[in-house]
Amino acid sequence: MTTPAGSTPAGWYTDPENAQRNRWWDGTKWTENFSDPYAPAAALKAPEGTRVYNLWIWLVVVVPYLSLPFLFALLPGMFAGMNVSDPDSATRVQLQLMTSPAFVLLSLSGWVLGALVVLFSWLDWRWLKAAGVPKPFHWAWGFFGLAGYPVYAIGRAVVTNRRTGKGLAVMWVVIAIIVLTFIVTISWVGFLVAGMVAQMPTYN
């Protein structure tokens, strides 16, 4: 559109002097008010050379798994005397397991470490903004860390990569740790179950 006719209602139209922007038509004439028709893609790009890795994000990645060593404090000997045919025996062993220091520490550490993940997510988000990354992945996603989900770390990696072309290493490290933790946990649980079965009384 060049110059709107006099009957054209007021609104934003392509500026006849510069097709890269819009100009306000007040219904009778062009004004000196201008606007960009689209938000330029560069608006969500960080400056060249922007840093994306810091201590906080690596703490977000690693901290949730610091409770894993407590898993190895759960030993087959805790199931000694368990008799599947005796409900009282099974209940007693379960109570003993759930009140053991290892189990209590494993449970409580999950909440404490989850809270630390929220704190470190906020610190990382603030650091990214100061470093010049526009609209970084919001730190509030770190609250999923209380449930053991690395939502912030993975989302942060994807969004930061879009803004800077870097940052995916965080996601790959998270995935590697999850796979390793899954293998270790399943192996140890299998060991515990085998030990529990071995201690159960046998009947002819």
SS3 51: coil
Cβ–Cβ contacts within 10 Å for residue 180, how many? 12
User: In sequence order, what are the beta bridge partners of 23?
Assistant: 13, 34
Which residues lie below 8 Å from residue 28, measured CB to CB, with a gap of 6+? 6
DSSP 75: -
pLDDT in tens, 2-20: 555 556 787 778 888 887 7
pTM: 0.66
- According to the per-residue pLDDT averaged within each range, which of 65-79, 87-101, 181-195 is highest? 181-195
Helix (H) or strand (E) holding 138: none
Which residues lie below 8 Å from residue 116, measured CB to CB, with a gap of 6+? 59, 63
pLDDT number for residue 47: 82
pLDDT in tens, 145-161: 888 899 999 999 999 99
